[in-house]
Amino acid sequence: MNFQAIRAIYIFEMSRFFRTLLQSFLSPVLSTSLYFVVFGTAIGSQIKNVDGIPYGSFIVPGLIMLSVMTQSISNASFGIYFPKFMGTIYELLSAPVNFLEIVVGYVGAAATKSLFIGLVILATAYLFVDLDIQHPISMICFLLLTCLSFSLLGFIIGIWAGNFEQLNLVPMLIVTPLVFLGGSFYSISMLPQVWQTVTMFNPVVYLISGFRWAFFGQADVAIGISLGAISLFTFACMAFIWWIFKTGWRIRS
């Protein structure tokens, strides 16, 4: 394992993040504050509690998941797309660096950025609501797995994308709607039975449910199933990336 190569890629990617640190910090704070004003105040005044949890507190895990998923995909996809766009990826591929070291460098940096955003949103939430995280270790584990898995997905999207429009296609048209329809701001039990069944086909439900369990000890899906779903998704992304580098799909062409 060439740790020097991993370190070089990681530091290069993180340097772009630190150059816009103020923007990276203010954006999640402002967006989270707006969500609390709109959802926590307007809707929260009509829905006092969900499963015995104050509505303002109930939406915190969903807000964190929404930002972490989209930020992970965006950071990883832009990180690997720009070398493709500029043509410098061929220098990287010809260097004495294997595919695993490339992936660890880019995905590790993207996951670190999204983890920072998630923690910033969590800290901002404490300004609006009272939170008592029942399973802090499980919460960190779910957050790390989500950052890692969706950074891997973003890496795949960055390899697949042929232009800048395609980079935003999956996050905007697929991931964000799935998060909103995955129980981010409501409990699945509040839906009619037929829609509860349909919602269970949404993979994001399992991530949000497990993450909410770490906060409040309550979930729409068993914690074991949620953990298995995120682990399976992570390994599937890793296997697909291995296939990409083995075949050269969208890299050599």
pLDDT digits (tens, 9 = 90+) for 82-135: 888 888 888 888 888 888 999 999 999 999 999 999 998 899 889 888 888 999
Residue 118 resides in a domain? yes
In this prediction, residue 156 carries a pLDDT of 95
- Domain ranges, residue 239: 3-247
Q: How many domains does the chain have?
A: 1
Which amino acid belongs to residue 76? Answer: A
pLDDT at 253: 60
- Dist CA 120 CA 63 (whole Å): 11
* Sequence-ordered list of residues with C-beta below 8 angstroms from that of 159, at least 6 positions apart, any chain: 80, 81, 84, 244, 249, 250, 251
> pTM score > 0.85 for this model?
yes
Paired with 53 in beta bridges are: 50
CA dist., res. 74 & res. 110, Å (int) = 8
Residue-wise DSSP of 191-214: S-HHHHHHHTT-THHHHHHHHHHH
> Rounded to whole angstroms, what are the CA distances from 184 to 122, 199, 210?
15, 12, 12
What integer best gives the mean pLDDT of the chain? 88
| Predicted pLDDT at 29 | 77
Task: Tell me which residue of 221, 177, 216 sits closest to 66, measured CA to CA.
Answer: 177
Question: In which residue are the tokens 């670190």 written?
Answer: 112
- Count of CA atoms in the C-beta half-sphere (13 A) of 83: 21
Assigned domain for 252 exists: no
The more confidently predicted of residues 29 and 73 is 73
**Is 253 part of a structural domain of the chain?**
no
Distance CA 170, CA 158 (A): 11
Consecutive H or E run containing 54: strand 53-54
